[in-house]
């Protein structure tokens, strides 16, 4: 193998800042080959989401089978799912791919605040964490998945420990929603060991797609053969560089500079 083959299971962002568009850019910039299974089509821009159409579950699975049977898969990134039926079907499909690292970004709400998963779909997220190597929830997602208050790094770590023990899946608790000039991301492994990364907050409104980008960058690293801590460290560096290189597009939460970010990353 000369290039990591990364299967992206996610929704489309018509504004190009998040979703499968951000995933493809990220995997490509980090040296991988991006393949896709589209779960939903959204009509959105930097100001918000105006409409969502879920792709039928059978079609999501057909896309996965088409690329897996021919090209092969070295890592999987799961983002927006579209429906509880699709979430359950994905969990069953990926149970047969235990040798492939799966990174699950439990997308519930867009950066603009629009809901991207209903309660039934969120309830099905547990099955996906059961088959994932890593899940990357932010603070609101940690709270929704555990029923706990998550307002600071200590509470995030406690919630992450609960999920890691429950699902035997590593949890990267993202700290971007907490107040303060420093951001802390905390990795909790299934055995309870932890790692932390800190970085200064970058003051900008152009952060649309940070979660998608981070998860795809980690998946690409894992598909390359990096250890999970190495993949996370590289992914965080890429995300921060892409934020700094944001092109300043749109009147709301603008996209990052995925391509320009590579020059900063080097």
User: For 148, which DSSP code?
Assistant: S
Alpha-carbon distances of 168 from 6, 131, 165, 179, 250, rounded to whole Å: 23, 9, 5, 30, 40
Give catalytic status of residue 212 as yes or no: yes
Q: Is residue 175 annotated as a catalytic residue, yes or no? A: no
Q: Which residues contact 207 (CB under 8 A, 6 or more apart)?
A: 111, 176, 243, 246, 253, 256
Please tell me which residue in 19, 211, 223, 261 is annotated as part of the active site.
Answer: 211
Residue of 46, 210, 213, 220 marked active site: 210
Dihedral over Cα of 202, 135, 24, 112: its sign: negative
Q: Is 207 an annotated catalytic residue?
A: yes
Q: Is 2 a catalytic residue?
A: no
209 assigned to active site: yes
Known catalytic residue: 174?
yes
For CA atoms 104, 94, 230, 20, the dihedral sign is negative
Task: Identify the active-site residue in 16, 17, 209, 246.
Answer: 209
Q: Closest Cα partner for 172 from 139, 127, 202?
A: 139
The alpha-carbon radius of gyration of the chain (Å, integer) is 17
- Name the strand (E) or helix (H) holding 7: strand 5-13
Q: Which of 26, 36, 207, 220 is catalytic?
A: 207
Dist. CA 8–CA 129, nearest whole Å: 16
Q: Is 94 helix (H, G, I), strand (E, B) or coil?
A: helix
Which of 26, 46, 169, 174 is flagged as catalytic? 174
Is residue 13 a contact partner of residue 19, using CB atoms and an 8 Å limit? yes
Catalytic residues: 174, 207, 209-212
């Amino acid at each position: 193998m000369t290039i990591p083959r990364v299967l992206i299971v996610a929704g489309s962002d018509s504004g190009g800042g998040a979703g499968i568009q951000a995933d493809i850019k990220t995997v490509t910039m980090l040296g991988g080959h991006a393949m896709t299974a589209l779960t939903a089509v959204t009509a959105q821009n930097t100001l918000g989401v105006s409409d969502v159409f879920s792709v039928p579950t059978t079609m999501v699975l057909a896309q996965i089978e088409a690329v897996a049977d021919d090209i092969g898969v070295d890592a999987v990134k799961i983002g927006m799912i579209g429906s509880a039926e699709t979430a359950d079907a994905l969990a069953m499909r990926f149970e047969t791919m235990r040798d492939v690292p799966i990174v699950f970004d439990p997308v519930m709400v867009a950066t603009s605040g629009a809901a991207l998963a209903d309660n039934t779909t969120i309830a099905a997220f547990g099955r996906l964490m059961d088959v994932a190597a890593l899940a990357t929830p932010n603070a609101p997602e940690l709270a929704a998945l555990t029923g706990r208050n998550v307002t600071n790094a200590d509470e995030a770590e406690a919630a992450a420990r609960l999920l890691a023990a429950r699902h035997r899946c590593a949890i990267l608790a993202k700290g971007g929603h907490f107040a303060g000039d420093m951001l802390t991301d905390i990795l909790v492994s299934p055995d309870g060991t932890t790692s932390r990364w800190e970085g200064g907050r970058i003051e900008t409104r152009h952060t649309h797609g940070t979660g998608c980008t981070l998860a795809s960058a980690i998946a690409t690293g894992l598909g390359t053969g990096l250890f999970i801590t190495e993949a996370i460290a590289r992914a965080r560096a890429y995300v921060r560089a892409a934020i700094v290189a944001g092109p300043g597009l749109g009147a709301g939460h603008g996209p990052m500079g995925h391509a320009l970010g590579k020059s900063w990353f080097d």
